[in-house]
Homo-oligomer: A and B are copies of this chain.
Amino acid sequence: MHDWLNQHLLQLNLTEEMDYVNGFTRLSYTEEEKQSHQAFIKIAEELGLHIHTDQAGNVWATWKVDDEAPTVAVGSHVDTVSSGGGYDGVAGVLTGLAAIKILKDQEFQPAKNMTVICFASEESSRFGVSTIGSKAVSGILNKKEVEDVTDVDGMSIKESVEAFGLSWESIEQAEQPDKALESFIELHIEQGTQIENNEADIGIVRGVACPIRLQVTASGMANHTGTTPMTNRADAFAAIAPLITFVEEQANEINREHTTPLVATVSTVQLHPNAMNVIPGEVVLGIDIRSVEDSLKEELAARIQAFCQKIEEDRGVNVDIHTLVNNESVFLNPAIHEKLTNVTESLNLKPFTMDSGAGHDVMNMAQKWPSGLIFIPCQEGISHHPKEFATLEDLSKGSHVIAEYLREETRRWE
């Protein structure tokens, strides 16, 4: 199993070795993502699976046994952030295929169909819009809302989807009816260290913490750095800088006050004009806040709001707060959670029930189908980084958990 996993891990990452200083870059709806989809198709075809690419560019690799029978699905994605790792997404697609291989090698005869979905465009790093493929499948992609969103080079999602060989016009037709699937599970690297900290093997996720994302714009007055006295400035960067510290401090304070954890990050900044001899006239900060306890996110957003109002009053700059995203946290299916826990234990592995701080394709699929999410450990919790790493041992454990789950789910059909 280790050899098979290693070989196909490399193929999906379009590489001959995993250890690259600059990591992997396969942004949404690019040629690089497409090449990785081709690698997925090649592996699936070797396993004898039926390939179908839908209107959003998701690839479905199906073990079809009975047109009338329900279909049990697993899946994840292969696109990455810029200079990301080779396991985020790939681990789920790879272990899904590996589970099928395990069942086929054992000459298992399923009574239902199984499908491994390789979702298109999960990461938000190109367009600021995440999980486009699984949103389309779940029928929650708002085409009009996102079509004009552009990447840093000014290319829109619409243009990119068409350059990918799809029709933007028909992207919403990727939506599947309820009956298309019986259930969905995803495997992902943990991107944290809770499994390891709790000496467990597999994380079984209960809820996904969806973010509140704020865009804070401070507007002062650009002016010459050398000729404008300190007393006569409206420096937007100096005015808003304390907010960066405040967000961290308040997140820590909320964590002291409550047991459910919250994380908050000032993760992006744009400065205008961002020139050495000009006082910053405008600063735009991006803030990402997450917790499965939605009220804690709201609490921090309210404290940020009040702090920005104070900055406005004290500093004579305008501060606008725009809520980019405010998604309620998603709770996964308790019956599937229990089944995943049971099969993990049946393999003599230790399950650990936890929440997910990151969003995944499963949060969209869960809107429509009973869904589950399992995590495998990744080294030091590092992800979205070239140093992201999961062992072949853990990928193998994950493959076996999925295989046993699929075996139980497809054994009988009445």
| A window 199-245: CB within 8 A of B | 209, 211, 213, 221-230, 232, 235, 237-238, 241-242, 244-245
Task: Check if A288 is an interface residue, CB within 8 A of chain B.
Answer: yes
List of B residues within 8 angstroms of A223 by Cβ: 191, 381-385
Complex CA–CA separation, A228 to B191 (angstroms): 7
Q: Say what secondary structure dominates the interface of chain A.
A: loop
Closest residue of chain B to A285, judged by CB?
Answer: B237
Asked whether, in the complex, the Cβ of B124 is within 8 Å of the Cβ of A226, the reply is no
Complex CA–CA separation, A152 to B407 (angstroms): 55
Task: Check if A116 is an interface residue, CB within 8 A of chain B.
Answer: no
Interface string of A250-261 (1 = CB under 8 A from B): 011001000001
Task: Check if A323 is an interface residue, CB within 8 A of chain B.
Answer: no
List of B residues within 8 angstroms of A103 by Cβ: none
Complex CA–CA separation, A230 to B263 (angstroms): 6
Asked whether, in the complex, the Cβ of B226 is within 8 Å of the Cβ of A237, the reply is no
Task: Check if A338 is an interface residue, CB within 8 A of chain B.
Answer: no
Complex CA–CA separation, A288 to B255 (angstroms): 38
Asked whether, in the complex, the Cβ of A248 is within 8 Å of the Cβ of B235, the reply is yes
A234 → B minimal CB distance (Å): 11
A19 → B minimal CB distance (Å): 17
Closest residue of chain B to A240, judged by CB?
Answer: B244
Asked whether, in the complex, the Cβ of B358 is within 8 Å of the Cβ of A226, the reply is yes
Asked whether, in the complex, the Cβ of B275 is within 8 Å of the Cβ of A125, the reply is yes
List of B residues within 8 angstroms of A252 by Cβ: 230
Binds B, one of A34-42, A161-169, A266-274: A266-274
Task: Check if A290 is an interface residue, CB within 8 A of chain B.
Answer: yes
| A window 363-384: CB within 8 A of B | 381-384
Asked whether, in the complex, the Cβ of B230 is within 8 Å of the Cβ of A248, the reply is yes
Task: Check if A55 is an interface residue, CB within 8 A of chain B.
Answer: no
Asked whether, in the complex, the Cβ of B261 is within 8 Å of the Cβ of A229, the reply is yes
Closest residue of chain B to A359, judged by CB?
Answer: B226
Closest residue of chain B to A358, judged by CB?
Answer: B226
Complex CA–CA separation, A311 to B238 (angstroms): 18
Contacts A211-B226, A230-B262 known; list 6 others, CB within 8 Å: A81-B278, A191-B227, A227-B358, A227-B381, A237-B267, A241-B241
B-contacting residues of A (Cβ < 8 Å)? 81-83, 124-125, 128, 130, 190-193, 209, 211, 213, 221-230, 232, 235, 237-238, 241-242, 244-245, 247-248, 251-252, 255, 261-269, 271, 273-281, 286, 288, 290, 356-359, 381-385
